[in-house]
Structure 1
């Protein structure tokens, strides 16, 4: 039994029940919209908001994370499957279920193998770039609904070309309906909270009003469609028939051909799901000063997606907006999610005919508003002002997603992260240091007024030594020796060196030999224990021309005293 049940506080019961009921109502339009975004029948979004939610609430470790259809997994599903089958067809639905099943199994295995650390393989800028690129893809995919035109599925460029070629077929009433909803929702997103607070509304009430607004807009849109019969008189596209009752279980095993086709997309979806879900769970836990178990999160999300493959057939994840609604509604534990799932089941069983005349343009407007909020322009400018390499990684990932699709976009992001890491490691910061007078502190001679020894060169290497950065180290050492022709002792300060690989060991051995041939000695200072444990068995350690000092201060005192003695003898 989950710990949150055995440790549950009864005084939280009413708060969780109320939060669950609120969430169930508010996420209905979102669930429908994301199902359509994924190219699936709208009821799929409702179905995967039931049993997968129950599974995660029982297995997951987050107290407030809300599971269900999310924008990124929806657009990834559409991007992967639309070239393989016609969206909405039986073949497409079967592929979506198989994709959910395969990605769920992979995430579950990641959890069993304790691979939660995989979420750290993507840097924050790369994640921001992926989310921003995906958000733009979502916006582009919804333009056809806002304009009331029908275009074939394709990549971003083909979609924009098809939209430009279909402008003459735009439905004015659809544009007016969807455009009005879009503008109002954007205005509400940016101004509603401040407006509400000006008239005396509390911040919590204002934020709740903002969450409710999409539902209010959809209700008004349905009223307009029904009142003026817009779907029949002006061909305004609507959701259409929504199958009532439960989805039922679909126990099937994908054939070998399907598994081969979906292997790579499922792996990408599983990886992105791992990063997104753990990041979201950790962010929510940090706000409540709680901790989450990353591996348990993976097991929970994996099983949720496996369940979604059998019931609803749509990949699920920890949604940002869904979790925000859950938190703002007052959820204190997974019980709120259980209540939301049961309430959603009741609504599905009692009837969904009232959803049939929801205009697609207004659903698209709500998706676009959510997607616009995901475009992280601020993150780009922050990265640009702090580290332009990170900013370029963010921009490159976003462009990769837009130009090459989600799968290659992720690969480009990982490649840029690794390339940035390799470039930084291969060009280490190396400083010539000296002692601040009257202290035992040593600093860079270019930043501080320090005292040095004419016959000794103190060189601090701020990076582990490996095959990729040794040429930079050798080049800097040679340059400094040219500047200081009186040098007789070279001290390599190893306080920042966490590892010395085999190639580095051989190069240091060569440096020791070459310095000895020039009647100079090589010393080490502040060698870390794990590094020293490996070096003591090497020929370098045994044949070192100089000494190994416990501290830089000890080396400085020793060499300074030796220099004074030599000067006196001269």
Structure 2
């Protein structure tokens, strides 16, 4: 019964499913498929793989995600960033083994994601900061654009970093093919004009905004069709040597386990782990955004299982790693897609493409596919976000900048690792030295603020330190040092209050430090008190014997502490003579 209940909950979108909803899903799937056909070919070439692999990973993996994932609108499949990461991961392997290694890489990514899902590791997404993701995507988009210039120029270039690619391109400039340059640049200009102006132009002539957006997104397939006809009609490949997609084998992908050697798997483990992290973070961010728009909930553990299942199936069908696509998910949402059935219908359309439409793609120029990738990546460049992050927080700005530069200098597979490690290192460094401020009271109020930043009342006999961080083993000594400094600066102090508004945890090491602080203060006749302590922190203190040794009290609020501890006025210094004049 529990299994039946879990299945019913998993497919809760089937409740109330009607022909009307199916019609909306069908229309959305048709539009997404039209967008996906050129993209899957382009991204397979970006990964350094035959174009049919882009079609392969757009069939059965989509069905796997629809069965296991939790998002109702996320469209999975080949994407630019993951394709580039795949290219970088398999570039170090012998060329004859790259098909097998790409499939093995996808299977490994699937294993990592499924394992994390079974261990309920959805929380891992919290360890990747948004500035890191934004900077990583911007750096990867720059790298992708540079990598596609070889097709626009019609030259041969290699490399996995911006420096190596640029150097290779400069060496090959003399071999530029005029026909490739004309086709590539004209395709870029046309696609850019369509992306930026077509939707608005259609709205101005009276078309509804939603329909105008959809037509603008579908327009590239028309552009690609025109270039195929031009390529065929003028014989650009035969007469001028323009590089084209060439023969794309028809048929559905075969199911088989990648015959990868143990040495190959060892070389792919680290890249697979990095791709798994990027895939999950990128897809999770997209899924959460569209779930929020539709007031639905995304289960991150199920997302791990869904993405893992999709990648594992991609590996078994001779494909390469995939993840959720922001652009196609946006098209799905705009077109009115309501349920995961859209992925299943898209898979059906892509299967028809694999069976019957591949001969049409033979004359498609690679320069046009490169133009399609470049224009798509332009929308991923987000330098404004990098600048806003830098202005707001230098630490986050350094992390974002380091991530961006790491992608360009060291390669796409290391950028996210550099960002995550640096972000965590800076966070730990910040918590090592928590902000501990001496506070005072705004005159005539019950509000207490940092005495170094505001004009407030302080008392030489009763001092208060506000701790703006949880206390744990790494920063406990900072508190001891701050208290020691305050003792030397305040010879008249007889009470010290630790204001714990921001302290949500005190671990065993920090508790030992509090014992030491209490002991030192007791030796010099100063009592230690606490105020504004959270209930769960107080409960943990009650489990220890610390409160038995505490020389002072725990006050509900800082104002209560000051009212109870402030010294009585010296009445002897006041005159008892009342002047009535």
Shorter-chain TM range is over 0.9
Counterpart for residue 406 of structure 1: 412
Q: How does 1:148-227 map to 2 (within 5 A)?
A: 148-227=154-233
Within the candidate set 26, 42, 63, 2:35 is matched to 26
Q: How does 1:71-470 map to 2 (within 5 A)?
A: 71-86=80-95, 89=96, 91-252=97-258, 254-470=260-476
1:385-410 Cα deviation digits (max 9, x unpaired): 21121111111011112211233222
Q: Does 1:564 align with 2:572?
A: no
CA distance in 2, matches of 1:418, 1:469: 16
CA distance in 2, matches of 1:280, 1:568: 72
Shift of 1:193: 3.1
Tell me, yes or no, if the aligned pair for 2:159 and 2:168 is still in contact at 8 Å. Answer: no
Counterpart for residue 3 of structure 2: none
> What's the secondary structure of 2:70's corresponding residue?
coil
Tell me, yes or no, if the aligned pair for 1:245 and 1:351 is still in contact at 8 Å. Answer: no
Mean Cα deviation higher: 250-259 or 414-423: 250-259
CA distance in 2, matches of 1:12, 1:330: 9
1:475-518 Cα deviation digits (max 9, x unpaired): 44344445543221111111211222333223322322222222
1:261-293 Cα deviation digits (max 9, x unpaired): 211111111121121222211111011111111
Mean Cα deviation higher: 10-19 or 37-46: 10-19
TM-score in terms of structure 1 length: 0.94
Q: Does 1:57 align with 2:66?
A: yes
CA distance in 2, matches of 1:395, 1:186: 28
> What's the secondary structure of 2:363's corresponding residue?
coil
Unaligned runs of 5+ in 2: 1-6, 575-581
Q: Does 1:543 align with 2:549?
A: yes
TM-score in terms of structure 2 length: 0.92
Q: CA distance change for structure 1 residues 47 and 567 in 2, over 3 Å: closer, same or farther?
A: farther
1:68-126 Cα deviation digits (max 9, x unpaired): 1111111111000012132xx4x211111111111111111111111011111110001
CA distance in 2, matches of 1:407, 1:179: 29
CA distance in 1, matches of 2:38, 2:269: 31
> What's the secondary structure of 1:384's corresponding residue?
helix
Counterpart for residue 10 of structure 1: 19
Tell me, yes or no, if the aligned pair for 2:100 and 2:258 is still in contact at 8 Å. Answer: no
Q: Does 1:493 align with 2:499?
A: yes
CA distance in 2, matches of 1:181, 1:212: 15
Shift of 1:297: 1.2
Q: CA distance change for structure 1 residues 192 and 526 in 2, over 3 Å: closer, same or farther?
A: same
Tell me, yes or no, if the aligned pair for 2:99 and 2:318 is still in contact at 8 Å. Answer: no
CA distance in 2, matches of 1:222, 1:520: 86
CA distance in 2, matches of 1:565, 1:536: 35
CA distance in 1, matches of 2:126, 2:259: 32
Tell me, yes or no, if the aligned pair for 1:83 and 1:153 is still in contact at 8 Å. Answer: no
> What's the secondary structure of 1:40's corresponding residue?
coil
**Count of aligned positions:** 565
CA distance in 2, matches of 1:422, 1:21: 49
Shift of 1:438: 4.1
1:313-341 Cα deviation digits (max 9, x unpaired): 12111111121222222211122222221
Shift of 1:154: 4.2
List structure 1 segments (4+ residues) > 6 angstroms apart after TM superposition: none
CA distance in 2, matches of 1:169, 1:282: 46
Tell me, yes or no, if the aligned pair for 2:88 and 2:413 is still in contact at 8 Å. Answer: no
Shift of 1:203: 2.1
Unaligned runs of 5+ in 1: none
Tell me, yes or no, if the aligned pair for 1:119 and 1:279 is still in contact at 8 Å. Answer: no
RMSD over equivalenced CA pairs, Å? 2.1
CA distance in 2, matches of 1:134, 1:8: 40
Tell me, yes or no, if the aligned pair for 1:536 and 1:542 is still in contact at 8 Å. Answer: no
Shift of 1:543: 2.1
Tell me, yes or no, if the aligned pair for 2:82 and 2:275 is still in contact at 8 Å. Answer: yes
Mean Cα deviation higher: 528-537 or 110-119: 528-537
Shift of 1:348: 1.9
Q: Does 1:39 align with 2:48?
A: yes
Q: CA distance change for structure 1 residues 479 and 344 in 2, over 3 Å: closer, same or farther?
A: same
> What's the secondary structure of 2:551's corresponding residue?
coil
Mean Cα deviation higher: 479-488 or 344-353: 479-488
CA distance in 2, matches of 1:159, 1:552: 61
Shift of 1:521: 1.7
> What's the secondary structure of 2:88's corresponding residue?
helix
Mean Cα deviation higher: 237-246 or 216-225: 216-225
Q: CA distance change for structure 1 residues 353 and 98 in 2, over 3 Å: closer, same or farther?
A: same
Mean Cα deviation higher: 95-104 or 327-336: 327-336
CA distance in 1, matches of 2:425, 2:263: 35
> What's the secondary structure of 2:48's corresponding residue?
coil
Shift of 1:206: 2.6
